[in-house]
Structure 1
Amino acid sequence: MKKKSCNFSFITLINLFFTSFSLFSYGQEINSTNIVHDFEGDRYFRLNYDNDFFMYSDDDYTQGLNFELFHPVFRKNPINFLFFKSKGADFKYGLAIEHSAFTPDVISDVDIRYTDRPYASALTLKMMSVSDHLDKGFRMKSSFWLGIIGPSSLGGAGQTWIHEATGNWKPRGWDNQIEDDVILNYNLGFETLLLDLSNYFSLYGESKARLGTMFTDLNLGASATLGLVNSPLRTSNRSSKFQVYLFARGITNFVGYNALLQGGVFSRSSPYTIPSTKIERFTGQYYYGLVIKSGFFYLEYYQTSMTREFEYGDPEDWGGLKIGVRI
């Protein structure tokens, strides 16, 4: 009887993650170090691209681009002393450059839309560490971000050029965007293997904390993979390096601060921001996708939906691609 009771509680917990909350908000960070996106080895290049075009829209989180490089040379990065380290782990280190842009629902208005999200963009250099404990079945992830939010990150210029080149509506409100400010963020994440059914199905739990001038928040969630997949948190008996699998992931998030809505910590001159009292403190997101990879290449497509981030905002939807090669 006790065993049945334990199983019921476990299933209830999974349902809570994937259905009750409708899941997570990372403030539209392009995340590539989670297990569902794992690219084996310590040296590879990957392009990550988000766009709401994949969900037939052009508002809120409109585009994100991330160039990611992992290589042993980054073991000598002087910033690594900030990262969490533990004995017995397999470590890899990387750098990423990420650009993201955000707009209100209507981009043809010159005037501020006071019931919508502000224009905002960010350019960030990310320094990352990933450590896997195969014997204990968990992963630790640390990262430090340095960058700028505001006009100097060229979000307005980039979106205007793309829309002119494709014959779409020209965005006219970027003069009202969140002003320049510095990005300094430290992030620490944890994932653990909860359930493993050979090489076909795996379930993971996760948590993450971010502290800094761009995002300050806490989250808790779960992810799952289904297909031919070699989990990095257990020894695989598959001889083939080819993998193809579906994944689903969801997280609930407690939001402390989001500079993309509230403006920078140091600059208070932005023409329009979302007041702290209007920020949704509990948000959720889920996304799902398909991964195909081998020893040489990585290919992923996913779609995601996110609950509203502020009181008079709307839910958001976008899709993304990840393309990687081993070097």
Structure 2
Amino acid sequence: MSADTTTPAKVPPPRQAPPPPAVAKRPPGKPASGAAGTPWLLLAPCLLILALVLGYPLVRLVTLSFQKFGQSQLWGFQPAESVGFDNFGKVLGDGEFWAVVVRTIVFAAGCVIFTMVIGMLIALLLQRVSGWVKTLVNIALVASWGMPIIVATTVFKWLFDADYGILNALLSKLPGVEMIGHNWFASGPQGLAVIMLLVVWGAVPFVVITLSAGLTQVPKELEEAARLDGAGAWGVFRYVTLPILKPIIVMLTTLSVIWDMGVFPQVFVMRNGHPEAEFQILTTYSYDRAFVVNDYAQGSAIALLTVVLLLGVVAVYMRQMLKIGEVE
């Protein structure tokens, strides 16, 4: 047999895939093109509604506080006149206004302190009861929280009524106590204490539910470690539970201050639409100046000063939250 002298066919080298097109890299943390405007686009309807519902009244409030605006201007008989800071000067120079400010601060502070203390105690108690008791308490809390303010105020008026109030009848059954016919609203401090009780009663459910949710995030291991180190119930609460709940407590306290500084229907309805001087707080005082005295400019100035006070509370809240964020 003769040898095969044919030359082998040359095999072409494998074809290499073309390199992928270069993709421009963006710096880390920088959103893609168009992504930065997406959140604002989604928030636009909400921001528009807030601007219409809150923005216009606030602008109108500021405008009125720098004008002379009474019934003549309201009905169009006279044009509104710009008076600069005269309205603020009259309000700040009035001793009655400062008495109302002090009364409002004391009233709000009492409401906040009692709300937070009672709410914390109930929330801690709910962690130590059986499931069905916790369910019943939560149902009662939600029911009281959902009750309209006007209905709750009417119920409290009946409870503390001088002639037919059930509270006076129950207290009179105690040995040596005679409360039949006692008028709780004969003096400002007693009447405001009743209104404070009403405000606390309506605010405690929200605090309890929020703190109960926060207590579920407290690690049981830390509590056990603290007990092994010799800490009692107060020590565990102070050094373990309280630091973990601090952001929630700061938030609840700030919201309570804002809500309690803005209390209006409880005082207004409890005093039948005509709060006496001893019952005036900033909200009712502003309403009285605007719609009873018919000085809408001074009423607006008082309302604007109230907003400034509340902004101070918000500033303290933001500062505390920033401190908590830095620590974490």
TM-score bracket, shorter-length normalisation: under 0.3
The answer to which structure has the higher helix fraction is 2
Structure with higher Rg: it is 2
Instruction: Choose between structure 1 and 2 for higher RCO, CA contacts under 8 A separated by at least 6 residues.
Output: 2
The answer to which structure has the higher strand fraction is 1
